[in-house]
Amino acid sequence: MKMIFKCLILIQFIFFNENIYATSIKQQRQNYKQIKTAYINHDIDIISSLLPKLKKYPLYPYLQYEFLIKKIKKENNLASIQGLVKKFINKYSDIPIANSMNNYFINLLAQHNNGKTLLNFSPNKPKQTQALCNWYYIKWLFDKKSINIEALKKIWLSRVNILHDCNKLLLISNKHIKIPSNIILELIGFAMKANNDRLITCLTKMLPPNYKNFANLILQIKNNPSSILNLIKKMHYSSFNFNLQVIRYSLLHLSRKNPELAKKTMSIIIKSYHMTPSDIQVLKEIVANNMIQKNISNELNIWRNSVIANSKSTSLIEQHIRKSLMNNNRTELKFWISRLPLKAKEKEEWQYWQADILYLQGKKKQAKSIFYKLIKKRNFYSLVAAQRLGINYFFKNDIAPAPDNTILTLKEMPRIRELMYWKQYNLASNEWNHLISNKTVRQLKMLARYANEQKWWNFSVKTTIQAKIWDNIKERFPLAWNNLYIKYTNNKNISKNYAMAISRQESGWDPDAHSLMNAIGLMQIEPNTAKQVIKIYHIKDDIINKLFDPEINIWIGTNYLEYIFKQLGKNRILTSAAYNAGLSNINIWKHRSAGKINAIAFIEAIPFLETRQYVKNVLLYNAYYNYLTGKPRNILTSVEWNHRY
């Protein structure tokens, strides 16, 4: 009886405390909402009265961040406030916003040319790209010390768009530091290798006056690669390696426009220079590579094949294998696979096609042996091999351990929970990335499960990737926004699971995803695509500015997917490829294959690496979602499997 009484008391205590917490968090959220409005309206009185009440609220550090940013913006003497900034950074050093504040203040000080304060505030170089460039710029401006060009090479060469602050650093350096010409030429060589045209233009402008003619030659080659023969005679720069890089760069561009002219030009260049056999082979491979997807004469075809046959480049041989698949030429397919290095032959795609060749040769036992080996793995070809053999693929499904107290009491959790509540997904993502960066695999499994249970689906996916726990299917493929996908695929030809597979591939379930191409949200909808859908389906709502909203995104995305699906004969292979690469490319590839090849050959023959992998992933993810929801397990429908592409 005493035990029952104690249990009742404990239940009452828990219930009472939960009510207190619910009331407390509800009031804190109301205060938080008020203070956020006050920030927008610059109502200092409300901010001052409410801020002390929110000291125990998980997002108090973020409020302090905003408050400090406003204070910094109003302060004319930035040196006087650096103490407060340092204090904030030290106080919240274990929260990602500390780095944000650090980078913000460095960039602001650089913007005001406040070098003394900046170098006092940050004597060591920061990690963030923009802050790093600004730090180097100010350090040179005030210390008059040479900039470490080596440290900046990676920044310049890894970016498609050079940040303004890094671009400014290059130009200022040229004007005042006089970066040695050999360093600039080295960078131009790197930029040519990376095929970074914008950086080449920027760097050539930095060359000193006595290199003016040379700079003009480089720009002329960039804009008109066919002029290489006339220009190469005028190139007097002593570095053969640099000249060779210029030649490679020009042949790369010329062979894309006119492969026959590129071959003739290359032959003349080879006679003009004393090159090693390996240098000559590289030039030949550059030209041959750009002939693979083009209609060329029989003579050029023979030359290209001889170059690739003598090549040790795996990617070049693989491109030719894919061309053989597109042409449905099994003789060429067998030959080119045999030319692959041993390690490349072990890739699942080439294992499958070696088995396919054996099967057609009547060596069915050997072929089946390879298929069964593929089935033991967990990739696209594993499921294809299972369907080829007419057996069900076995999905290994590990169950993540339930989150224990070490997970539930993590100090980051209340902040993440509140950030997700307020739909501040980007800030929540920063917190989660920081959280999972130093956890054990067991902890990561618990965190993945916890995230899935909390409906933080993108964090669940992200954590499985961090932990490499590929058999935790439930966490890898959460049934995110399931009811919305049911709602918006109802009465459509596309299945819910297919639409979810597209979303999982597109955004990893991040509703705040935003690509460089301006694709937005769960299904990565571009504004122009949204306009197209609005026109097709006569949608009257103004939804262009609402694409980050999950429901709007799913609504528009599923309508667009349905439109493509019907355009392409209700075929997921073609639809997935079109969703990624556009309908025009699909029509080009279909014209090339001319209804001669099977489904798997068509997928593997897709010339774009991104699209090829995209299609494989979507079909694989669709199969996983089918498994989780008790649907058919084959990776392709019988219609997709039997169709000729």
Distance of CA 585 to the CA centre of its chain: 21
Q: What are phi and psi of 398, to 5 degrees?
A: -80, 140
> Measured between alpha carbons, how far is 32 from 41 in angstroms, rounded to an integer?
14
Question: What backbone torsions phi and psi does residue 341 show, to the nearest 5 degrees?
Answer: -60, 155
* Among candidate residues 464, 403, 478, 469, the one with its CA nearest the CA of residue 436: 464
Residue 453 catalytic? no
- Whole-number Cα distances in Å, 347 to 1, 2, 340, 376, 393: 68, 67, 11, 14, 20
Query: Which phi and psi (to 5°) does residue 76 adopt?
Result: -80, -35
Beta bridge partners of 525: 520
**Which residues does residue 514 pair with via DSSP β-bridges, in sequence order?**
520
- In a 13 Å sphere around the CA of 237, the CA atoms on its Cβ side amount to 26
Q: Contact, 571 vs 637, CB < 8 A?
A: no
Tokens linked to 28:
């804190």
Short-list 615, 608, 617, CA closest to 378: 617
All residues at 6 or more sequence positions from 297 whose CB lies less than 8 Å from its CB, including other chains: 260
Q: Where are the beta strands (DSSP E) in 399-547?
A: none
Q: Give me Rg for the CA atoms of the chain.
A: 30
How many other C-beta atoms can be found within 10 angstroms of the C-beta atom of residue 26? 10
569: Cα within 13 Å, side-chain hemisphere: 11
The single-letter DSSP state of residue 522 is T
Q: Which residue in this structure is represented by tokens 């500390």?
A: 98
Residue 160 identity: V
Listed as own residue / partner, the contacts of 149-155 with beta carbons closer than 8 Å and 24 or more positions apart are 149/179, 149/183, 149/187, 153/187, 153/190, 155/129
Other CB atoms closer than 10 Å to residue 216's CB: what's the count?
A: 14
What phi and psi values does residue 525 have, to the nearest 5 degrees?
Answer: -90, 125
Burial class (CB in 10 A: 0-12, 13-18, 19+), 85: buried
Count the neighbouring beta carbons within 10 Å of the beta carbon of residue 504.
24
Choose among 477, 502, 489: nearest CA to 576: 502
CA separation for the pair 539, 151 (Å, rounded): 52
- Nearest Cα to 447, choosing from 472, 425, 420? 472
> CB of 367 within 8 A of CB of 356?
yes
Evaluate the CA torsion angle 258, 263, 264, 266 in order and state its sign.
Answer: positive
232, 312, 314, 301: which is closest to 266 by C-alpha?
232
Catalytic residue among 186, 349, 418, 506: 506
- Of 451, 407, 453, whose CA–CA distance to 429 is shortest? 451
C-alpha dist (Å) from residue 166 to 126, 163, 178, 208? 14, 5, 16, 20
Catalytic residue numbers read: 506
